[in-house]
Structures are given as C-alpha cells and as structure tokens.
Amino acid sequence: MFDLESEIEIGDGKVWTLEQGVAFCRKVEDLLVPAGFHCALGGGVLQKGESFKDLDVFVYPHKSDGTISEEEVAKALAPLIPKWMAIDHTYQEDSKKVFFCYFEGKQRVDFFLLT
C-alpha cells in the first residue's frame, strides 16, 4: 500500500497544486497500466495550476476498443484508494458519474471514467 503522505505532499487539505496533481497522477498511472488503463489530469489544477475544490483525473482504456468498469478501476487502484464514493449527475446536462475519494479527510479527487 502506498503511503500517500510520505510520497506526495498533500498540504493542508485546502488546495491541490499542479505539482501535487502530477505526482498523484503518476502514482495512479503506475497502478492503472498493468490493468490496461491510463489516466490524464484535467480541471482547475491543469488549467489554473491549483484548485481549492478537487483534483480531476480522467481514466481511459489503453486500447481504443477497450472497455472500462468501475469495478476494474477500483480493483487496480485499491492499494492507493481503499474507499470510493460516487455521485450520479443524471439530473444535470452532462449525465456523468463521478467517483471520488478523500485522503485522510483532506483533499478530494474526482475520477471520470471514459469509454
């Protein structure tokens, strides 16, 4: 299991920086590649260099004809993310599901699963 605190400086729980986001995504990528997936950084951290809300991470299959499921991603990321939560945005225009987690009650990470 990763010790996130020692490997990525999380900060005070109020802001994600670009440096923290890239470091986090590298850890996620290390876990996803063997399962056939990749990740990409997006949102305010990429656009503005920081976010007081969350870190947006997009997960997609390595092969263009690949599929992706919540269970597969959760299993691949289990060493880093022991507990997931979900928000269903079907009431909004974009109709997406967002899977998110908090690390020790600190910064939020939103995962978007792309097909």
DSSP string for 57-112 = EEEEESSTT----HHHHHHHHTTT-S--EEEE-TTSTT--EEEEEESTTS-EEEEE
Residues in the chain: 115
Domains of the chain in start order, with CATH, are: 4-113 (3.30.460.10)
Instruction: Please tell me the pTM assigned to this model.
Output: 0.81
Q: In this predicted model, which residue has the larger pLDDT, 29 or 2? A: 29
Mean pLDDT (the chain) is 81
With pLDDT > 90 as the criterion, what percentage of the chain qualifies? 42
28-48: pLDDT as tens digits: 999 999 999 999 999 999 999
87: pLDDT confidence band, cut at 50, 70 and 90? low
